[in-house]
Amino acid sequence: MTLHAARAPLGRGRTSGFYADVRDHSRRLAEPLSDADATVQSMPDASPAKWHLAHTTWFFETMILKPHLAGYREFSPVFGYLFNSYYETLGARHPRPKRGMLTRPALDEIMAYRAHVDEAMERLLAEDPSEGVEELATLGCHHEQQHQELLLTDLLHLFAQSPLKPAYGDAGPALAPAAAAPEAGWLGFDGGVAEIGHDGAGFAYDCEGPRHQALIAPFRIADRLVTNGEWLAFMADGGYRSPLLWLADGWAKVCSEDWAAPLYWEQTDGVWRSMTLNGLQPVDPAAPVAHVSYFEADAFAAWAGKRLPTEQEWEHAAQAANVEPREGGDRIARLRPRPAGAGAGLKQAFGEVWQWTRSPFSPYPRFRPAPGAVGEYNGKFMCGQFVLRGSSLATPPGHARASYRNFFPPDKRWQFSGLRLAEDA
């Protein structure tokens, strides 16, 4: 994760306020958790909540405080080994699949670590810091927002493993299934040369640029997301049993892992339910399907006689529709993605589920990763991943934009990931 080279910092005072808001949001996300909740790791791809809270703090300590705050006292000399993620230039680290073995330090000590770093960061940001320090602080805040979302997705996977199917905190009462989803409409675009990538206003990760021209053929894109009801029809028609619908690697996953429904779905007495942040809930046929892999999304599109949009088509449609990011929520008060509302135009672009595109995660023209450790995040993952666009109900406030390029390997399902369809015009 790196800023564009020309990205301006927020400015004196605003960076400090943004930092305080982001750090407080993480604290409130951790409030409902016991030490055991925050320690356990449910699979190698997930991380314990305690690790997310410490790793984001380690970023500020390592990237900013140690090199830029005179007299800064490191909280613990072993935390660099425990909470480095994959910054190879910064030394050895605890193996990712064994993060759940870190019963010590306890959650209370992690929160003390956060308080120690927060006090030092507040002093540094109050001392008229250089533009470089403010850029790093802004980057660190956006990095922490990514981990806030991962904290929730990882907790959902953890709680789904328990026979108790516990809820995360007090998310409110269960929601009744909505009325039927509106019929999907189609938005047509003539194609041509489109400007793709971040426009330079505000923050962006390096992989969102440079802004460049892309040639797009005429296409149509669905005005809403694919629903659970449509996914049930795919399942009933043998979608998970029809190899001709699937990419070879996807079909291998279906066979080896016995996929027959989206992740977290289970059927009891003929009723499908899904694990949510408020426990096991009935599947809402009108709501967007979530927790499907790229392989599943591609197979569904083939079954429907359509395809997934490219990331350029998705961004072009979002820009043309002038849709504003809709926040997932300051706290998780919603249990699941919301059904599409009535009206014309592109719906559900933000704030419901991330949307798979058919585009591999690769560099834009003239892309160059930043030098040093902060350049290790995006560029080195531009192989074997597919791009998702939009945002989800777990995306923190202020973190979504049309140019954002999320990316995951094509078999991953624990993220809030869904799809919308497209076709050639």
Tens digits of residue pLDDT in 323-377: 877 655 445 546 678 899 888 899 999 999 999 999 999 999 999 887 776 766 6
Q: Per-residue confidence at 1, pLDDT binned at 50, 70, 90?
A: very low
Taking the C-alpha atoms of residue 154 and residue 234, their distance in angstroms, rounded to an integer, is: 27
Distances (CA, A) of 105 to 39, 74, 101, 148, 405: 10, 16, 11, 20, 34
Are residues 146 and 43 part of one domain? yes
Contact between 129 and 391 under an 8 Å Cβ cutoff? The reply is no
Are residues 193 and 154 part of one domain? no
Taking the C-alpha atoms of residue 289 and residue 352, their distance in angstroms, rounded to an integer, is: 10
Nearest to 388 by CA among 406, 362, 402: 406
Are residues 96 and 48 part of one domain? yes
**pLDDT mean over 249-265:** 98
Are residues 144 and 194 part of one domain? no
Report if residue 168 sits inside a domain. Answer: no
Crossing angle between the packed helical segments 49-60 and 131-160, to the nearest 10 degrees: 170
- Within 8 A by CB and 6+ apart from 12, the residues are 128, 134
Are residues 195 and 128 part of one domain? no
pLDDT at 182: 82
Tokens of 85: 């993620």
Reply yes or no on whether the pLDDT at 292 is more than 90.
Answer: yes
Mean pLDDT for the chain overall: 91
pLDDT at 230: 98
**pLDDT mean over 406-412:** 97
Reply yes or no on whether the pLDDT at 238 is more than 90.
Answer: yes
Are residues 85 and 214 part of one domain? no
Q: Which of 21-35, 370-384, 390-404 has the lowest mean pLDDT?
A: 370-384
Per the structure, the complete domain to which residue 130 belongs is given by 14-160
Phi then psi for residue 228, to 5 deg, are: -60, -40
Taking the C-alpha atoms of residue 347 and residue 341, their distance in angstroms, rounded to an integer, is: 8
Reply yes or no on whether the pLDDT at 113 is more than 70.
Answer: yes
Reply yes or no on whether the pLDDT at 2 is more than 60.
Answer: no
Are residues 201 and 136 part of one domain? no
Are residues 246 and 129 part of one domain? no
Tokens of 290: 């979530």
- The three-state secondary structure class of 168 is coil
Q: List, for residues 37-95, the tens digit of each pLDDT value.
A: 999 999 999 999 999 999 999 999 999 999 999 999 999 999 999 999 888 778 899 99
Report if residue 229 sits inside a domain. Answer: yes
Edge-to-edge strands of the sheet including 279-282?
A: 265-268, 271-276, 279-282
Domain edge (last residue) among 121, 145, 160: 160
- Within 8 A by CB and 6+ apart from 417, the residues are 290, 291, 292, 293, 297, 353, 354, 355, 356, 388, 392, 408
Taking the C-alpha atoms of residue 107 and residue 253, their distance in angstroms, rounded to an integer, is: 36
Are residues 366 and 255 part of one domain? yes
**pLDDT mean over 269-273:** 95
Q: Looking at residue 388, which CATH number applies to its domain?
A: 3.90.1580.10
Are residues 192 and 142 part of one domain? no
Contact between 64 and 57 under an 8 Å Cβ cutoff? The reply is no
Are residues 378 and 267 part of one domain? yes
Reply yes or no on whether the pLDDT at 220 is more than 60.
Answer: yes
Report if residue 5 sits inside a domain. Answer: no
Q: Count how many domains the chain has.
A: 2
Report if residue 8 sits inside a domain. Answer: no
- What pTM value is reported for the model? 0.93
Where do we find the tokens 């995360």? Answer: 168
Report if residue 117 sits inside a domain. Answer: yes
Are residues 71 and 144 part of one domain? yes
Q: Which helix (H) or strand (E) holds 282?
A: strand 279-282
Report if residue 106 sits inside a domain. Answer: yes
- Within 8 A by CB and 6+ apart from 150, the residues are 47, 52
Taking the C-alpha atoms of residue 205 and residue 421, their distance in angstroms, rounded to an integer, is: 27
- The three-state secondary structure class of 246 is coil
Q: List, for residues 143-199, the tens digit of each pLDDT value.
A: 999 999 999 999 999 999 999 999 997 655 666 666 678 889 999 999 999 999 999
Reply yes or no on whether the pLDDT at 35 is more than 60.
Answer: yes
- Within 8 A by CB and 6+ apart from 36, the residues are none
